[in-house]
Amino acid sequence: MTPLQQIALGLVVIVLTAPVGEIDLLLDPVGWLLVLGGVARLRTGAPRPLPRSGLVTLAAVVAALASVVLAVPVMVRDASPAQLAPLVVWQPLFCAALSASLGGLAPAASPWSRRLRWLAYAFCVVAALPLVVLADVEEAYGAVAFAGAVAMLVLIVVLFVLHRAPWVHRAPATPTASRP
């Protein structure tokens, strides 16, 4: 499994829910562990240094920690969307950092460079929407969550499409034939 596939699978676990009462059987922290492992492998496996790798890692770690808090029903049961926004905002911020980093890793002539940067801008908007919308209308939170889910699904598809791109990972070393 390539690092981008591992990150994408982690994001799938984060996006999907399997609620049983107040508990989600697909715990987001498990998805974030997959994401963190994929980010670590991406940092070491890219053919050149990953742009903004520290920011990507920091956003992933903070999002993972926030997901632990959000996974405990007692801690979030009575919280309003506005109170949860500081915890929820880290998921789109990680996605923005990852998209921008991959866009910087892509060759400048590649169409993926521009596409990934636009995706990063979209995640910045998704991250800012709760701050703008929730200031006036908390009922709009569903629309904000939907926009975030759509952007996340686009990122998951992009990660699966790009997982074998030559600019994302080093080519495997070819074994040398030994002479008898």
Range of the domain at 88: 3-162
Residue 16 belongs to some domain of the structure: yes
Q: Could you give the maximum distance between any two Cα atoms of the chain, in Å?
A: 77
Residue 140 belongs to some domain of the structure: yes
Residue 110 belongs to some domain of the structure: yes
pLDDT digits (tens, 9 = 90+) for 38-59: 999 999 988 888 999 999 999 9
- Count: domains in the chain: 1
DSSP labels for 12-54? HHHH---EETTEESS-HHHHHHHHHHHHHHHHHHSSSPPTTHH
The contacts of residue 14 (CB under 8 Å, 6+ apart) are: 28, 31, 32, 35, 67, 91, 152
Judge if pTM exceeds 0.85. Answer: yes
Tally Cβ neighbours within 10 Å of residue 83.
11
Distance between CA atoms of 20 and 6, rounded to whole angstroms?
Answer: 26
Residue 175 belongs to some domain of the structure: no
Residue 179 belongs to some domain of the structure: no
Q: How confident is the model at residue 144 (pLDDT cuts 50, 70, 90)?
A: confident
